[in-house]
Structure 1
Amino acid sequence: MNIGLTGGIATGKSTVSQMLVKRGAILIDADVVAREVMLPGHPVLKAVIAHFGQAMLLADGTLDRKKLGEHIFAHKEERKVLEGITHPAIRAEMRGRAAEYEAMYPERLIVSDIPLLYETGQGSSFEEVMVVYIPREMQLTRLMNRNGLSKEEATARISAQMDIEEKRKLADVVIDNSLGLEHTERQIDEFWLRKGLL
């Protein structure tokens, strides 16, 4: 079974993904794949440098993430260019891995962890989508505490994503992560049993 896992920033998606892995799921993490396609020698990094220039590389040939981040933050249209280069490659790599794992381990749960799953129109790519949910106010507090942000900065980051209430409505499975880890673990156990996973 192949599911998509998403949520909002600071909702506890990583916690839930680790709970699933602990029970035997195979995790494909979009953030990890996004870093891999930017490694020296990868065609995606070559395409990024071809557009944005050699100045985006550090002396050791790796991507200067800070400089690229500042550039696309200052030039909004350039973010679309970057996404146009990276997103198709990341999606293709994730789909390929999911198909490979499904063929090798047909009895295992394959989880694709994608922060912007709905925002990038991938909701229908999976048998089910699991959303990790906490109320927006709690999300704001957690993000401020976790990242040392002001209320304005945290609000801006949360507002850049689809509203968590919208994601909850779209989800096939909602994991409410607002009542403590034990409560979250119980929901994962219930999901696991309901799906008949070993």
Structure 2
Amino acid sequence: MQLIAVTGGIASGKSAVAARLAEHGAVVVDADRIAREVVEPGTPALARIAAELGPEFVRPDGSLDRARLGAAVFAEPDKRHLLNAITHPAVARRSHELFAAAAAADPKAIVVYDVPLLVDTDRTAEFDLIVAVVADAEERVRRMVSLRGMSEDDARRRIAAQAGDDERVAAADIVIDANGTLDETRAQTDALWERLRRDS
């Protein structure tokens, strides 16, 4: 098994790269999806969020109020650090389970971990190859405002809350420049896939 991390900041194009690799046959493990899974109703992580951050972040139906929590943690670094201390270990445990399952199903699998917070969580040593997907901050703000309906202020706060591209590039073996068109990003991803196939 080859274990590849694809990382990038919010609206960088990271998920487009992971999706293209999946089209080629990679097994993609999505850290954002796992992060949602580990805070579903009844999970230990959600119970800790309610106990340590406040019950107001859990809706009456027992689900996490993501919008309210997101607004709070991006505005208050202390709350963000506490949330990360609760969720990151749970995400790491679940991701390792999925990596192991992929390897058991196919020992020659190319497994891609689609993970925004790789550098932030200091997990770089786990991977055979690290791919950083980068785009200029202004382009990322434009995407968040036009495609996701965020305010410009909210978009800039979210970018500022994550590691910078310089840190991601320093940790990366390969950098994909996603400032251009989707086709240009896919072409770089296709070249990456050919390299992975050669190395497998």
Q: Same fold (TM over 0.5)?
A: yes
- Once the two structures are superposed, residues 40-81 of structure 1 have per-residue CA deviations (whole angstroms, 9 ceiling, x without a partner) of 222222232333454432222212223433444565423322
Aligned length: 198
After TM superposition, list the pairs within 5 Å mapping 1:19-98 onto structure 2: 19-72=20-73, 76-98=77-99
Mapped contact 1:131–1:167 kept (Cα < 8 A): yes
1-structure distance, mates of 2:136, 2:70: 29
Most deviating of 175-184 and 2-11: 175-184
2-structure distance, mates of 1:56, 1:152: 22
Unaligned segments of structure 1, at least 5 residues: none
The alpha-carbon distance between structure 1 residues 75 and 166, as it changes in their structure 2 partners (threshold 3 A), is closer
Cα deviation for residue 33 of structure 1 reads 0.7
Alignment correspondent of 1:11: 12
Identity %: 37
2-structure distance, mates of 1:55, 1:155: 25
The secondary structure found in structure 1 opposite 2:82 is helix
The alpha-carbon distance between structure 1 residues 181 and 35, as it changes in their structure 2 partners (threshold 3 A), is same
1-structure distance, mates of 2:90, 2:60: 25
2-structure distance, mates of 1:114, 1:101: 17
Mapped contact 1:136–1:164 kept (Cα < 8 A): no
Mapped contact 2:29–2:111 kept (Cα < 8 A): yes
1-structure distance, mates of 2:89, 2:179: 34
The secondary structure found in structure 2 opposite 1:116 is coil
Alignment correspondent of 1:101: 102
2-structure distance, mates of 1:17, 1:141: 21
Mapped contact 1:98–1:110 kept (Cα < 8 A): yes
- Once the two structures are superposed, residues 131-189 of structure 1 have per-residue CA deviations (whole angstroms, 9 ceiling, x without a partner) of 11223332333333334455544333222222223322321111222232222222222
The alpha-carbon distance between structure 1 residues 50 and 141, as it changes in their structure 2 partners (threshold 3 A), is closer
TM-score normalised to structure 1 length: 0.86
2-structure distance, mates of 1:154, 1:41: 31
After the TM superposition, list the runs of 4 or more consecutive aligned residues in structure 1 that deviate by more than 6 angstroms: none
Which AA in structure 2 matches 1:14? S
Alignment correspondent of 2:184: 183
RMSD: 2.3
1-structure distance, mates of 2:115, 2:159: 16
